[in-house]
Amino acid sequence: MKPIAFILSILTFPLLGQFISQPLAALDTGGGTVQLDARNSSGVLLFFTSVRCPYDDYYLSRMNDLHERFGKSVRFYFINSSLEDTPAAILSKVKGMSSAIPYLNDREQSVKRAVAVNRTTECVLLKPERGGFTVIYKGPVDDNPQVAADADRNFLRDALEDFLAGKPVKSADARVAGCLIREP
């Protein structure tokens, strides 16, 4: 990698422990602005998704299960940063889903850029502090996108357990299986 490209990659991909001072907000399915916050919770979990990527649907039941288990302590959000997905397509998708997790449209890609995500199904766990957030986990849900029962490593579940137990969160050493989120 050329030195300039390496420097740019450091600037655009936050490391674990990076502090995000800017407010994070996206639109709900009705077009209203939702501030991503951690009121009455220990943290915020972002799951990047889209209408069209088949991998996203594989993880819906797993995200619902994790929300059921950890949702009282951590706020969960589905974040759609896909430029190809219209508000109507997103609304149709949400109506067909069975989930209590809020589904937000990040059409301006401000949340995506703040946490430097580039694929759907990528998860980011944020710890609120000092009026902003610190990235404490960024990676996949597990190591088997197609068959939940065949997953050997449950990276996100382990990260949530460690975080809530006050232990250091381990980073995932696996690639995220999902679709590329295009930028303008």
- Convert the pLDDT of each residue in 116-127 to its tens digit: 999 999 999 999
Q: pTM of the entire structure? A: 0.89
pLDDT at 35: 92
- How much is the average pLDDT of 99-119? 96
How confident is residue 39, by pLDDT bands cut at 50, 70 and 90?
confident
pLDDT at 91: 94
- How much is the average pLDDT of 148-165? 95
Residues 6+ apart with CB under 8 A from 98: 64
CA angle at 39 for the pair 65 and 110, rounded to the nearest 5°? 80
CA angle at 71 for the pair 65 and 73, rounded to the nearest 5°? 140
Distance, CA of 143 to CA of 151 (rounded, Å): 5
